[in-house]
């Protein structure tokens, strides 16, 4: 049964207009004083764990969680088994997506065979892949990354880089904050992130390749990317909600605070916010990375890297960036829905409805994702997704 939302606040052409909004997908939504309708969100960095690690997450459970978070397009990273480094391996994932995905899932092909950083994947036979990434591992060889960029340029594909210099990991630390010491969490130094970015910017300038940087977390990365954009390099980047809200001073001896890159200093957090405000940082991505409860139960030192975030991303950003006046709601929609699609050539074919007055406490038992490890557990947030629609079909509705 179709219906109409009276006096909805609808995002159109960069602003909000008050109008009646038709529910062409059916369903009944009523009794709202502050209902907003946005283009559905797009996340270019999620881990859906299938094939190979379905005990952590499945394409079905992960895509259901995405729909609840207001997303109709997500891009799944290649740290799977088998790694999508050939047409045959990629097809295994595509078949699972076709069978089980609730929303659009766009799989990355890996840059290198097995993500081992030793030889390039079969780029030519993977040219129909969404883009190329070795996320979870940095490509250590400058020559191999240059070769990858040349291939990607020929195919008009984007290289999406997890920037991490392995030679700087041992003995690294987050910062000298007391919490980092108390909790015995040996983090990953900022230089291990920004040094590869510096290298890759020069390679992207030389090759003309489209280049995108995953989950930047430190002030040096922001400044390097800002300068590269000014120099005309074809570069974009993302950061994640936890880096914009939390710092190393928020760490607790709990696996739900362990992610890669790690939480950094207040200076880094403020630099990231400035990067959001001035357009240096193009988009918000969650790096949704579910693990089993057992894998996340070993404290900061021994738990697996990765947290979940797809179901809380918009409420966290709305609560801490919009309601505090740091950015406008229009800007948040731009970096969560518009910019990711523009950069990666994904068409919007859905919308999501939110009650922004709704206040709730994060309760991981209510997550649709199989992963429950989030640093925002028990946080009070604003914004509840009421419905997500794609191709006039309801993908999620709040009962």
**Residue 49: which CATH number?**
3.20.20.140
Q: Tokens 């090759």, residue?
A: 207
DSSP alpha helix (H) spans, the chain: 59-68, 87-100, 142-155, 178-182, 191-207, 219-230, 241-245, 266-278, 299-302, 313-317, 329-333, 339-344
- In a domain, residue 214? The reply is yes
Helix (H) or strand (E) holding 42: strand 41-46
Burial profile 184-221: b = 16 or more Cβ within 10 angstroms, e = fewer = ebebbbbebbbbbbebbbebbbebebbbbbbbbbbbbb
- The tokens for 253 are 């001896």
Q: Where residue 188 falls among pLDDT bands split at 50, 70, 90?
A: confident
Q: Is the pLDDT of residue 397 over 90?
A: yes
Q: Tokens 């000014």, residue?
A: 230
CA distance 263 to 308: 15
Tell the burial category of 229 from Cβ atoms under 10 Å away from its Cβ (0-12, 13-18, 19+).
middle
- Compute the average pLDDT of residues 272-293: 98
Per-residue pLDDT of 236-261, as tens digits, reads 999 999 999 999 999 999 999 999 99
Q: What is the pLDDT of residue 178?
A: 33
CA distance 92 to 145: 26
Radius of gyration of the chain (CA): 20
- In a domain, residue 15? The reply is no
Per-residue pLDDT of 309-330, as tens digits, reads 999 999 999 999 999 999 999 9
What is the chain's percent helix, strand, coil content, to nearest 5? 35, 20, 45
- In a domain, residue 14? The reply is no
Residue 12 phi, psi dihedral angles, 5° rounding: -140, 125
- In a domain, residue 394? The reply is no
What's the number of domains the chain is made of? Answer: 1
Out of 43, 73, 134, 287, the active site residue is 287
- In a domain, residue 50? The reply is yes
- Compute the average pLDDT of residues 138-147: 97
Q: What is the pLDDT of residue 172?
A: 41
Q: Which domain holds residue 196?
A: 41-349
pLDDT, averaged across the chain: 92
- In a domain, residue 398? The reply is no
| pTM greater than the 0.75 cutoff | yes
287 belongs to the catalytic site? yes
Q: What is the pLDDT of residue 28?
A: 56
25-29, 31-35, 235-239: the lowest-pLDDT one: 25-29
- In a domain, residue 369? The reply is no
- In a domain, residue 372? The reply is no
Q: What is the pLDDT of residue 184?
A: 38
């Amino acid at each position: 049964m179709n219906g109409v939302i009276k006096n909805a606040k609808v995002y159109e052409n960069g602003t909000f207009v008050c109008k009646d909004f038709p529910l062409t997908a059916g369903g009944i939504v009523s009794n709202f004083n502050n209902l907003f309708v946005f283009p559905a969100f797009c996340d270019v960095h999620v881990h859906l764990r299938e094939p190979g690690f379905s005990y952590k997450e499945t394409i079905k459970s992960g895509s259901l969680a995405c729909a609840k978070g207001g997303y109709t397009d997500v891009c799944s990273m290649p740290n799977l088994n088998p790694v999508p480094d050939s047409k045959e391996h990629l097809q295994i994932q595509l078949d699972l997506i076709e069978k089980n995905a609730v929303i659009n899932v766009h799989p990355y092909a890996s840059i290198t065979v097995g993500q081992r950083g030793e030889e390039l994947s079969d780029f030519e036979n993977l040219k129909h892949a969404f883009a190329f990434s070795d996320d979870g591992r940095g490509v250590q060889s400058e020559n191999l990354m240059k070769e990858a960029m040349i291939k990607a340029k020929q195919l008009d594909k984007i290289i999406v880089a997890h920037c991490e210099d392995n030679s700087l990991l041992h003995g690294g630390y987050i910062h000298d904050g007391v919490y980092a010491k108390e909790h015995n969490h040996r983090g990953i130094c900022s230089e291990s992130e920004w040094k590869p970015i510096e290298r890759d910017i020069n390679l992207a300038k030389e090759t003309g390749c489209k280049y995108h940087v995953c989950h930047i977390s430190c002030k040096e990365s922001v400044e390097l990317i800002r300068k590269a954009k000014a120099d005309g390099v074809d570069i974009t980047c993302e950061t994640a909600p936890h880096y914009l809200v939390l710092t190393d001073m928020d760490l607790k001896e709990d696996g739900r605070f362990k992610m890669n890159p790690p939480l950094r200093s207040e200076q880094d957090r403020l630099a990231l916010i400035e990067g959001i405000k001035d357009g240096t940082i193009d988009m918000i991505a969650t790096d949704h990375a579910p693990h089993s409860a057992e894998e996340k139960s070993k404290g900061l030192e021994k738990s697996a890297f990765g947290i979940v975030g797809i179901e809380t991303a918009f409420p966290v950003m709305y609560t801490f960036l919009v309601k505090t006046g740091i950015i406008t709601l229009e800007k948040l929609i731009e970096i969560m829905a518009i910019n990711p699609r523009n950069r990666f050539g994904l068409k919007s074919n859905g919308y999501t409805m939110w009650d922004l007055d709704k206040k709730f406490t994060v309760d991981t038992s209510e997550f649709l994702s199989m992963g429950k490890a989030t640093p925002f557990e028990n946080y009070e947030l604003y914004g509840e997704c009421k419905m997500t629609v794609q191709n006039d079909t309801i993908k999620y509705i709040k009962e």
